[in-house]
Amino acid sequence: MHSQARADALVGPLGVECDVEWQHPVERLDVQESCGASGKELTKLLTHLPRLSMLCIINCENITQLAVGVDLERTTSAASEVEQHKDEDGLLLFLANLSESLREMRIRNCPDLALVDPPSIFFPALQSLERLQIFGSPKILPAGSPSCCRFPSSLQELDLSDVQGMGTLEPLSNLTSLTKLRLGNCGKDLRCKGLEPLLTARGQLRDLIVIRSPRFFAGWTPNPRRVQLQDELGQGQKLQQLGSFKLLTDDHMGLLAAPICSFLSYSLTHLNLCEDDKIERFTKEQEDSLHLLTSLQRLDFGSFSKLQSLPAELHKFTNLKQLGVRSCPAVRSLPKDGLPKSLQELDVGECDNAELMQQCRGLVGTIPKIRLQPRD
């Protein structure tokens, strides 16, 4: 069941005492600013939704605090302590029933929302949570102590946008079930320290998106012993132990360094480099590092407004099946040494460059699929 209506339309006026204990089989609840409910009212409502599996909190400026309780009595006691100095109507409490039923939570555009101290017990207490999205709530994680902001180990997908205060990925080190991680505009000082455990045999990460964190990979030196072990394994063992994953990032300056690309060489199968309005050419060092990614099957360049040439020697990527060059209007030609014989798809449909289009038309028949027109 999916509800986006006003809360009092769903269950009657909240706050009205009733001698009958009732429950409602709602499985999804969208709480929006227009519903008009306070944190106190919503707390009461959530106690009656034992099957709730998805909760969306959207544009709720009146909800400013989140806290969690084990049961109603303890939660009420905790609320009394918290609210000695804070507005009770702004506090939303999560009870034990949600920790068992809630599978997905989305928090969007709640600019003043913050976890009540201590934050270390909030997200981990939601022990069945599989997907979490936090967008436009910069204050939700406390500044200065990122190591205490742990997330539930049950998480499979985590999407954080415009969330400040993480510092590194160390708070995510327990997420061994995580398959998809998206980080967008989470601070110019965000660093990838803590990423390595998510990419080793114990981790399950398959899809990583990092945008608008311009120094995310800067200075990262993966464990050299790990790289050595990779080199000692056979190709099949490498792929089995490290898995394969997709990476989309605008921090190509940090990513394209030899130690990083060596570490990723046997697992990174899809690389999407995007959104750069300054770079005109890749340096020789960056190109050499890129060529260490020997398992690449798909490579995309997107929205490089001033990029004049693609990296040389792309033909050496013997496993490459797809190459995309999108919104790169200054790229006038393909590399002079040609493209890999393994290539099955070439997409230059959004470059709007006559010289590049003409060259690609000459390849029709040699590459199974060539896209010259913009996508619909």
User: Does pLDDT of 240 surpass 70?
Assistant: no
Largest Cα span, the chain: 80
Per the domain annotation, does 339 fall within a domain?
no
Going by C-beta distance under 8 Å and a sequence separation of 6 or more, which residues neighbour residue 64?
39, 87, 90, 91, 112, 113, 114
Number of domains in the chain: 1
More confident residue, 79 or 364: 364
Per the domain annotation, does 319 fall within a domain?
no
Whole domain around residue 20: which residue ranges?
A: 1-134
Q: Whole-angstrom Cα distance, residue 256 to residue 217?
A: 9
Per the domain annotation, does 120 fall within a domain?
yes
**Long-range contacts at 326-330 (CB < 8 A, ≥ 24 apart):** 326/300, 326/301, 326/302, 326/350, 326/351, 327/302, 327/303, 327/351, 328/301, 328/302, 328/303, 328/304, 328/353, 329/305, 329/353, 330/280, 330/304, 330/305, 330/306
* 77-81, 206-210, 316-320: least confidently modelled range: 77-81
Concatenated DSSP letters for 270-299?
EEEEEEESS-SS--HHHHHHHTT-TT-SEE
Per the domain annotation, does 278 fall within a domain?
no
Q: What is the DSSP letter of 97?
A: H
Amino acid, single-letter form, for residue 295: S
pLDDT over 90 percentage in the chain: 47
Tokens of 256: 């394209």
Q: Whole-angstrom Cα distance, residue 3 to residue 16?
A: 21
63-88 residue pLDDT tens: 888 887 644 444 444 445 444 445 56
Going by C-beta distance under 8 Å and a sequence separation of 6 or more, which residues neighbour residue 74?
none
Q: With bands split at pLDDT 50, 70 and 90, how would you rate the model's confidence at 106?
A: very high
Would you put residue 213 in left (φ > 0), alpha (ψ -120 to 50) or beta?
A: beta
Q: What is the pTM of this model?
A: 0.85
pLDDT of res. 157: 97
Q: What is the DSSP letter of 364?
A: B
Per the domain annotation, does 313 fall within a domain?
no
Per the domain annotation, does 66 fall within a domain?
yes
Residue 113 and residue 65 in contact, taking contact as beta carbons nearer than 8 Å: yes
Q: With bands split at pLDDT 50, 70 and 90, how would you rate the model's confidence at 370?
A: very high
Q: Whole-angstrom Cα distance, residue 233 to residue 226?
A: 11
Per the domain annotation, does 121 fall within a domain?
yes
Q: Is 49 helix (H, G, I), strand (E, B) or coil?
A: coil
Q: Is 363 helix (H, G, I), strand (E, B) or coil?
A: coil
Per the domain annotation, does 355 fall within a domain?
no
- Determine the average pLDDT of the residues in 91-120: 82
pLDDT mean across residues, the chain? 81
User: Does pLDDT of 338 surpass 70?
Assistant: yes
Residue 29 and residue 7 in contact, taking contact as beta carbons nearer than 8 Å: no
150-191 residue pLDDT tens: 788 899 999 999 988 888 898 888 888 999 999 999 988 899
Closest Cα partner for 241 from 199, 277, 210? Answer: 199
